[in-house]
Chain A
Amino acid sequence: MSAPAVRREIPYRYRLMGTKCLNCGALFHPPQRICPKCGSKDLVEEELAWRGRLVAYTVIRRPPKGYEDYKPYIVGLIELKDGKLILAQIVDCDIEEVRPGLKLEATFRRIREDGKSGIIEYGYKFRPVIEWNWQKKPNPEK
């Protein structure tokens, strides 16, 4: 992707920024200027939920150009907490571990690189939710 194209897509790739139709309530990611559902032009920026659940997935073993370094990788269909469905790469998760229903959260990663000298594209991927519990005393020696 060219540098200007990367620049334009930053808000929705870096921050899950979409648009919401004020007329019918539909949420769009990537953002839309005119609602494809009801034709309204009354849309506002809205960030999607950061957490969700894996609905379905596939393993990519023959990736498109620019993604070869990451193969094999998991691409999942994720249902976010706001009900929006989103396609994203699943990371920090072995192929043997992945299963529908897995609780996921957005993470910021490299998406692909334009060779050795071009732009590095960054954006969201999803990983299994990092669970924490402050009741348990942190034990860094474990």
Chain B
Amino acid sequence: MTDVAVLGAGMHPWGKWGRSFVEYGRVAARAALADAGLEWSGVQSVVGAGTVRGGYPGYVAGATFARALGWQGARVASVYAACASGAQAVAAARAQILAGQADAVLVVGADAAPKGFFAPAGGDRPDDPDWLRFRLLGATNPAYFGLYARRRMAVYGDTAEDFARVKVKNAAAGALNPLARYRKAVTAEEVAASPVVADPLRLLDVCATSDGGAALVLGSIEFARARGVADPVRIRAVSTVTPRYPRTVLDLPDIATDSACGAGAGADAGAASAAVPFRASIARAVYEEAGVGPEDLSLAEVYDLSTALELEWYEDIGLCGPGEGASLLGKGATALGGRLPVNASGGLASFGEAVPAQAIAQVCELTWQLRGAAGARQVPGARVGIAVNQGLFGHGSAVVAVR
């Protein structure tokens, strides 16, 4: 049995609050502890998901949050994996619980984002691919999203209207989520009237950068039972896989893909498995570990950095075949009330991205949905949920939670 229980979930609302990420993380942590009915002194470990935007305290996020909550001697870890930091924090906490090192672990991620584009860390660093893509190409994150979107239009026949429909769907869900930054319905006309950021994507196709914080209290199943929680939401699997060589699909922050030349030299098995693109391999690993498949899902939280990217995720996590994402969306299958709601939380479209908090926030949403406590955006009878994400530099992130 590799399940761990979600004892508590909590968030600081997303927005642009102008305060330190430490404050957001502390608020989220206290909310998660209160939800678990535990004192801060009742957890034996804290894992922080780091941020590169808070200076040194951001790199040592675990200790930063522990200090803000008041030193109580818990063991500490800090992890950083860009957008996948939250999933790595969950994975680290889970490993400690399954190893018997802790009954209850607090997981926290929070960020305070700049206005506008994310930029690389400062200084002259010509050995850093993230610095080079900005220096030589001005290739912002939305530039990559624009490339993927145009590619879909050319290969699958997706249209700007298909992309806008994702925003309309996610905004409708986000309007029902008090923790979301944007809580207003959006029309296709409003998307089409917003300025182009990176052709073919418009402002309302691309997710914003936000402040926010999210936290979970995870514990062993025995500990949950001893506290009278007989049927907790369980994290059944976590995937933090890396890509396989040769990685032939362009990804942030790279200036080029690997070369398919010479891939077969040595072992053919490696070349064959490389045929599964990275995002699909993230989902495959978590399904395998959980012993479930896409047909078992009640809902999915996917990383919609752009509207077009949400459609890619449908295909990558097996909700439909390659190129069928827009059609699945068009049928209403992925909207609230549909067969398999995607981003019932409102997604990044409604939250904006608070990098290290985002994967944790996805698990908060799964938790509330699986408890039947998601209010107006509740997916009826939710039993199995997946959350997927990808951190730049090759970080997979996926969680399957069940009830």
Bound together: no
